[in-house]
Amino acid sequence: MKSEPDEVSIDDLAAAPDRTVAWFGVRNYQARNYMRDAMRVGDLAFFYHSSCAEPGIAGICRVASAAYPDATQFDRASPYFDAKATPAAPRWLNVDVRFVRKTRLLGLDELRAHPALADMVVLRRGNRLSITPVDATHWDYIGRLLARPAPR
Protein backbone atom coordinates (compact mmCIF):
# COMPACT_ATOMS: atom_id res chain seq x y z
CA MET A 1 0.00 0.00 0.00
CA LYS A 2 1.58 3.24 -1.19
CA SER A 3 1.19 6.57 0.55
CA GLU A 4 2.94 9.85 0.08
CA PRO A 5 4.57 10.53 3.45
CA ASP A 6 3.44 14.17 3.42
CA GLU A 7 -0.15 12.85 3.23
CA VAL A 8 0.17 9.90 5.68
CA SER A 9 3.50 8.37 6.72
CA ILE A 10 4.28 5.27 8.73
CA ASP A 11 5.02 7.60 11.65
CA ASP A 12 1.60 9.25 11.22
CA LEU A 13 -0.02 5.83 11.31
CA ALA A 14 1.90 4.93 14.48
CA ALA A 15 0.76 8.19 16.11
CA ALA A 16 -2.90 7.99 14.98
CA PRO A 17 -5.68 7.25 17.47
CA ASP A 18 -5.81 3.47 17.91
CA ARG A 19 -2.84 3.44 15.47
CA THR A 20 -5.44 3.20 12.71
CA VAL A 21 -6.28 5.33 9.68
CA ALA A 22 -8.69 5.10 6.77
CA TRP A 23 -6.83 4.42 3.50
CA PHE A 24 -8.74 7.15 1.67
CA GLY A 25 -8.30 8.85 -1.66
CA VAL A 26 -7.79 5.80 -3.89
CA ARG A 27 -9.02 6.88 -7.31
CA ASN A 28 -8.03 3.99 -9.53
CA TYR A 29 -10.53 1.24 -10.21
CA GLN A 30 -7.98 -1.56 -10.14
CA ALA A 31 -6.60 -0.43 -6.76
CA ARG A 32 -10.16 0.00 -5.46
CA ASN A 33 -10.99 -3.52 -6.62
CA TYR A 34 -7.98 -4.93 -4.76
CA MET A 35 -9.35 -3.37 -1.57
CA ARG A 36 -12.89 -4.54 -2.25
CA ASP A 37 -12.22 -8.03 -3.58
CA ALA A 38 -8.87 -9.23 -2.26
CA MET A 39 -8.18 -7.56 1.09
CA ARG A 40 -9.55 -9.16 4.22
CA VAL A 41 -9.55 -8.01 7.83
CA GLY A 42 -6.32 -9.25 9.38
CA ASP A 43 -4.27 -9.27 6.16
CA LEU A 44 -0.82 -7.75 6.45
CA ALA A 45 0.45 -5.15 3.99
CA PHE A 46 3.69 -3.34 3.36
CA PHE A 47 3.43 0.40 4.00
CA TYR A 48 5.31 1.97 1.10
CA HIS A 49 6.36 5.62 1.00
CA SER A 50 6.01 6.98 -2.53
CA SER A 51 6.55 10.26 -4.38
CA CYS A 52 9.29 11.29 -1.97
CA ALA A 53 13.07 11.60 -1.86
CA GLU A 54 13.51 7.97 -0.80
CA PRO A 55 10.60 5.76 -1.89
CA GLY A 56 10.35 2.29 -0.42
CA ILE A 57 8.85 0.04 2.23
CA ALA A 58 8.78 1.89 5.55
CA GLY A 59 6.66 -0.44 7.67
CA ILE A 60 3.96 -3.04 7.98
CA CYS A 61 0.27 -2.48 8.59
CA ARG A 62 -2.76 -4.72 8.99
CA VAL A 63 -6.14 -4.40 7.29
CA ALA A 64 -8.48 -3.45 10.13
CA SER A 65 -11.84 -3.21 8.33
CA ALA A 66 -13.68 -4.46 5.32
CA ALA A 67 -13.94 -2.02 2.42
CA TYR A 68 -16.52 0.74 2.89
CA PRO A 69 -17.40 3.98 1.02
CA ASP A 70 -14.67 6.62 1.09
CA ALA A 71 -16.31 9.74 2.58
CA THR A 72 -13.93 12.07 0.74
CA GLN A 73 -15.70 11.33 -2.56
CA PHE A 74 -18.77 13.22 -1.27
CA ASP A 75 -16.89 16.20 0.23
CA ARG A 76 -16.83 19.11 -2.23
CA ALA A 77 -13.90 20.65 -0.34
CA SER A 78 -11.78 17.50 -0.68
CA PRO A 79 -9.24 17.02 -3.47
CA TYR A 80 -10.76 13.52 -3.71
CA PHE A 81 -14.31 14.77 -4.41
CA ASP A 82 -16.10 12.91 -7.20
CA ALA A 83 -19.20 14.66 -8.56
CA LYS A 84 -20.47 11.38 -10.06
CA ALA A 85 -20.42 9.53 -6.73
CA THR A 86 -23.52 9.48 -4.53
CA PRO A 87 -24.15 7.93 -1.12
CA ALA A 88 -26.62 5.57 -2.82
CA ALA A 89 -24.04 4.61 -5.47
CA PRO A 90 -20.55 5.25 -4.12
CA ARG A 91 -17.71 4.77 -6.61
CA TRP A 92 -14.75 4.75 -4.23
CA LEU A 93 -13.91 2.65 -1.21
CA ASN A 94 -11.33 2.55 1.53
CA VAL A 95 -10.26 0.18 4.24
CA ASP A 96 -8.91 1.00 7.66
CA VAL A 97 -5.32 0.00 8.31
CA ARG A 98 -3.63 -0.46 11.68
CA PHE A 99 0.03 0.04 12.48
CA VAL A 100 2.01 -3.18 13.05
CA ARG A 101 5.60 -1.96 12.98
CA LYS A 102 8.01 0.44 11.41
CA THR A 103 10.85 -1.17 9.48
CA ARG A 104 14.11 0.09 8.17
CA LEU A 105 13.52 1.78 4.84
CA LEU A 106 13.78 -0.86 2.14
CA GLY A 107 14.26 1.47 -0.77
CA LEU A 108 13.16 1.08 -4.34
CA ASP A 109 16.74 0.66 -5.58
CA GLU A 110 17.39 -2.11 -3.05
CA LEU A 111 14.14 -3.86 -3.99
CA ARG A 112 15.05 -3.69 -7.68
CA ALA A 113 18.53 -5.10 -6.97
CA HIS A 114 17.02 -8.51 -6.11
CA PRO A 115 16.18 -10.69 -9.14
CA ALA A 116 13.83 -12.73 -6.94
CA LEU A 117 11.57 -9.66 -6.77
CA ALA A 118 11.74 -8.73 -10.46
CA ASP A 119 8.14 -9.67 -11.19
CA MET A 120 6.59 -7.83 -8.21
CA VAL A 121 3.78 -5.59 -9.45
CA VAL A 122 5.02 -2.58 -7.50
CA LEU A 123 8.41 -2.81 -9.24
CA ARG A 124 7.06 -2.82 -12.78
CA ARG A 125 8.14 0.24 -14.75
CA GLY A 126 5.30 2.70 -15.04
CA ASN A 127 3.29 1.18 -12.18
CA ARG A 128 1.29 3.97 -10.57
CA LEU A 129 -1.16 1.89 -8.52
CA SER A 130 -1.34 2.78 -4.85
CA ILE A 131 -2.36 -0.76 -3.93
CA THR A 132 -0.84 -3.87 -5.47
CA PRO A 133 -0.90 -7.52 -4.47
CA VAL A 134 2.18 -9.18 -3.00
CA ASP A 135 2.45 -12.95 -3.35
CA ALA A 136 3.62 -15.08 -0.43
CA THR A 137 7.01 -15.79 -1.99
CA HIS A 138 7.76 -12.07 -2.33
CA TRP A 139 6.39 -11.37 1.16
CA ASP A 140 8.71 -13.95 2.71
CA TYR A 141 11.71 -12.75 0.69
CA ILE A 142 11.13 -9.13 1.71
CA GLY A 143 10.71 -10.22 5.32
CA ARG A 144 14.19 -11.76 5.16
CA LEU A 145 15.58 -8.56 3.60
CA LEU A 146 14.05 -6.46 6.37
CA ALA A 147 15.72 -8.67 8.98
CA ARG A 148 19.12 -7.71 7.58
CA PRO A 149 20.89 -4.40 8.14
CA ALA A 150 20.60 -1.88 5.32
CA PRO A 151 23.38 -2.12 2.76
CA ARG A 152 25.95 0.66 2.86
Which sequence spans correspond to the domains of the chain?
2-146
Which of 39, 56, 28 is closest to 145 using CA atoms? 56
Name the band, by pLDDT with cuts 50, 70 and 90, for residue 152. confident
Q: What is the reported pTM?
A: 0.93
How far apart (Å, rounded) are the C-alpha atoms in residues 125 and 80?
A: 26
Query: CATH fold of 2-146, please?
Result: ph1033 like fold (3.10.590)
**pLDDT one-digit tens code per residue, 33-66:** 999 999 999 999 999 999 999 999 999 999 999 9
pLDDT confidence of residue 151: 75
Name the band, by pLDDT with cuts 50, 70 and 90, for residue 149. confident
